[in-house]
Structure 1
Amino acid sequence: MNEQTKTAHNCSGACSCNAHRSCISLVPIFNHLEPDQMDEIMSVTHPATYKKGELLYRPGDTSDTLYILHSGLIRIYRLAESGKEQLVRFLNPGDFTGELALFSESKHEAYAEAVKETQVCRMKRSDLQHFLLKYPAISLKLLQEFSNRLEKSERQTTYVATEKVEARLALYLAELAKKDGDTITLPMSKKDLASYLGTTPETISRKMGSLEDHHLIKQLNHREIVILNLDGLLFL
């Protein structure tokens, strides 16, 4: 366990117990279970709080724990040999990380950092494997989540593989528009978006301005954007 992980502290009191129960009921791999089954799972999970900037784990740490996010925000990222950061994904309440611990004893290859004060529930590999055998429906939900992760990973690979940064950004915005409509809210800062798309924050700002000049988008503020011409974005 790394030093920052040691700073996580267990919750206590009635409010914390309610938060603990809510943590289990949030995550899709568990929220379909009966209340008594969720209580059984809750009995072997341990709530913990991480302050902004603290790491849940880092490369080289033993991967033997499933982390379920109850509140806050976690970002998963890797560092290239050059030291350049590559954002992998963000975790929101109900998401989880550390699932590779289910299948084998391994080491983490990425960083998991609390973006703000964050509460999680932690479950050890042996306990989760027990429930996978006892409640097969959890396994099916887990496979569904892995499928969703694979789809998102392939989409990110498409972004980064696109030669022109402007095209990467346009494709990303178009994907958000397909899901959220004409007015979209960036789910991350421009710094993190730059890392996600494999470029720099300065380039993101410049390309946003270019898309706006070409009347493809309109920036309402640093996060909200109106898509004026979806076909034009896709054409890029």
Structure 2
Amino acid sequence: MDYQAASLALKRSFLFSSISDEDMSDLLANAEEKSYTTGEYFFWEGGAPDSFFLLISGRVKVIKHGSQGRETVVAFFRPGEIFGEVAVLEDKPYPASAIALEDSMALSIDRQVFHEFIRRHPGVALAMVGLLSARLREAQSRLHDLAGERVEQRLSRTLDRLASKLGPELPFTRQDLADMSGTTLETAVRFLSRLKQDGIISSGRGLVVIQDRLRLKRLTEDPSSG
């Protein structure tokens, strides 16, 4: 294990940022470092929640599998963030699948190890409550956006939110962006084509690149201002 990289990831994490160096060493001694290639799954929807993950490097997306085989992106994570923890806490199957967007490294933390750790460190348990509350607020905000905004604003906000978290190069298809914005593929294609013509984005196969973040931000408030 690369202890330096793993320690930095733990310190970057909201969940573990306050633990002592001694406790960090104890946690690392009971965690497993794993590597994943682009497209490889960390876990599958419906699988047993044996562990959750702290991302050290790379990027991860979480997807739901529809009844007709279609995939919908529901979340994405960058280094220092954890994922899969809700299933571990509830001891219920993973509600979605996690897949590497690029070659990635992660710490796999066993469910029983984590349960023992939070018993000894109630501050981590409180941090977990805060983390879950923040994710609930984000989900509520996204639902509000879906219910109350024009389609162009929803698509702009989706792109802006993704860029804030993943950087200007977004490895998502037009269908992914349509699903995350609560609109149809046809509508997403038309709007993305307009953004491309205006020089706000460029795009390739399965990739959207933000070229003008300032103009994109303006569109999140007023779709006619681009």
TM-score bin (small chain):
0.7 to 0.9
Alignment CA distance shift 1:92-1:201 (3 Å): farther
Conserved? CA contact 1:24–1:42, under 8 Å: no
Equivalent residue number for residue 189 of structure 1: 172
Q: How does 1:1-236 map to 2 (within 5 A)?
A: 11=1, 16-161=2-147, 164-172=150-158, 185=168, 188-191=171-174, 192-199=176-183, 203-210=187-194, 218-219=199-200, 221=202, 222-228=209-215, 233-235=220-222
SS in 1 for 2:19: coil
For residues 15-39 of structure 1, the C-alpha deviation after alignment (integer angstroms, 9 at most, x for no partner) is x233333333332211211111111
Taking the aligned partners of 1:54 and 1:174, their CA distance within structure 2 comes to 26
CA deviations 1:121-154 (Å, max 9, x no partner) are: 0111111111111111111211121122112212
Cα deviations across residues 153-190 of structure 1 (Å, max 9, x unaligned)?
A: 1222234445753242244467689x79xxx9465535
Larger radius of gyration: 1
What are structure 2's unaligned runs of at least 5 residues?
A: 203-208
In the superposition, the TM-score normalised over structure 2's length comes to: 0.79
Contact preservation (8 Å) 1:174, 1:234: no
Rounded to whole Å, the distance in 2 between the matches of 1:94 and 1:170 is 26
Task: Report the more deviating stretch, 45-54 or 20-29.
Answer: 20-29
Give me the whole-angstrom Cα distance separating, in 2, the residues matched to 1:56 and 1:229: 32
Identity, in percent, stands at: 23
Q: Return the alpha-carbon distance in structure 1 between the equivalents of residues 33 and 147 of structure 2.
A: 39
CA contact (8 A) 2:153 2:219 kept: no
How far does residue 69 in structure 1 lie from its aligned partner after superposition? 0.4
Give me the whole-angstrom Cα distance separating, in 2, the residues matched to 1:21 and 1:167: 39
How much is the aligned-residue C-alpha RMSD, in angstroms? 3.0
Name the count of aligned residue pairs: 215
TM-score, normalised to structure 1, is 0.76
CA distance in structure 1 between the partners assigned to 2:216 and 2:12 by the alignment: 36
Moved more, 185-194 or 44-53: 185-194
How far the C-alpha of 1:77 sits from its partner, in A, is: 0.8
